[in-house]
Amino acid sequence: MEKVYINSIGSISAQKTFDNNDFLEEIVTYQDNIIPVIEPNYKDFIPPAAARRMAKGIKMGVVASKIALEEANLTDIDAIITGTGMGCVRDSEKFVTAILDNNEQFLTPTSFIQSTHNTVAGQIALGIGCKGYNFTYVHSSVSFESALLDAFMQLELKEAENILVGGVDESGDHTNAIHKLIQHIKPEKINSKELLHSKTGGAVFGEGANFFVLSNKKQDYSYAQLLGIKTYNTLAKSDLVANLEVFLKEKNLTFGDIDVLISGNNGDIDYDNYYSELTNGPFKDTQQVAYKHLSGEFNTASAFGFWLGAKILRTQHIPSPVALNPIKIKGLENVLLYNQYRGKNHSFTLLRRC
């Protein structure tokens, strides 16, 4: 079995992450319950005429993937695998609205085409002329991890050498409005610095695109090794620790080998207690990191967590805004990510310094 490495990254998030030389030196704080991404100047990456036609999700995905490909010094890639919970949801909304408001008349196909979940993966392939394997996973909070697992299997078995993997989701007005109605979005606008200590239900919704080149060829510039991924459609709180132990054992690791836990806390008082099972349990004396107060919650927010893990391992540095506890140790070797959304679709992802 080949080892699998994260060779490059590209991130568009609610923080200024599109420049790979930066690492959360300046944090943008928000006082809201929906937060947008900080967009790069798309014209630096895409011809303006093409950019105008593209949905926001496509622009974010295409640009994040360009940043990752450039950093890995690649113009082509063996496969493109994306995860997205909702696809280009604004175009879905636009098309439904047009159908309803005009009684199915005077419709144009653009928003229908862009609403297709695999539009971003298709557009990336089109942009670089990649005729390779092209998949899109659309399964809530494990959309990105499913893509990761697929890439991991191909690279382990040497079926490919370089694979572009990414998670992308854009925020849509109607989707946000109705998720406020069912309290999946917090009723109050909250300061992002306070979010993780919130005493209310619901999350702060966000958006973003995080892309990576994974490879079985280690380079000087590789960020980290990807040791494994495991997803679970359901997992009772009481079974969490035992299942994690099994997963770690499969990688010949124990709880004590984990130097950093990156958890997907989103400030939802009803569901953050899943993370407490780990943070107050086997990892209570381990360095703990969280990120959704910086990125917002979205189906592929865990790809931002993955970006953070890669950055931490390469720089051997944990920026203070993401640290959950004051514990600091030197020599960060193994990083574990745990994420779930509303108690469902859990994932463990394991990274190692390389």
Q: Interface residues with another protein (CB under 8 A)?
A: 80, 85-87, 92, 95-97, 99-100, 103-105, 107-109, 112-113, 115-119, 121-123, 125-126, 129-140, 142-143, 146, 150, 153, 156-157, 174, 177-179, 181-182, 184, 230-235, 239, 243, 299, 344-345
Q: Which amino acid is residue 35, in one-letter code?
A: I
In the bound complex, what is the minimum distance in angstroms from residue 307's beta carbon to another protein?
Answer: 21
Considering the complex, state which of residue 242 and residue 329 has its C-beta at the smaller distance from another protein. 242
Partners of residue 349 on adjacent β-strands: 229, 337
Give 6's strand partners.
Answer: 214, 224
Instruction: For another protein, give the closer residue by CB, 28 or 126.
Output: 126
- Half-sphere exposure of 68 toward its Cβ, with a 13 Å CA cutoff? 33
- Least distance CB 111 / another protein (angstroms): 9
Give the whole-angstrom CA distance, residue 79 versus residue 158: 12
**Both structure tokens of 106:** 């005077």
Region of 76 (left: φ > 0; alpha: ψ -120 to 50; beta: rest) is: beta
Residue with Cβ nearer another protein (87 or 208): 87
Q: Any residues with CB less than 8 A from the CB of 310 and at least 6 apart, and which? A: 6, 9, 212, 223, 224, 351
Q: Please, what is the minimum distance in Å from the beta carbon of residue 15 to another protein?
A: 25
- The nearest distance, CB 114 to another protein, in angstroms, is 8
CB of residue 12 to another protein, shortest distance in Å: 21
Whose CA is closest to 301, among 161, 145, 190? Answer: 145
CA pair distance 240, 343, nearest whole angstrom:
11
Of 146 and 288, which CB lies nearer to another protein in the complex structure?
A: 146
Three-state secondary structure call for residue 14: coil
CB of 119 to another protein, least distance (A): 6
Which lies closer to another protein via its Cβ, residue 41 or residue 105? 105
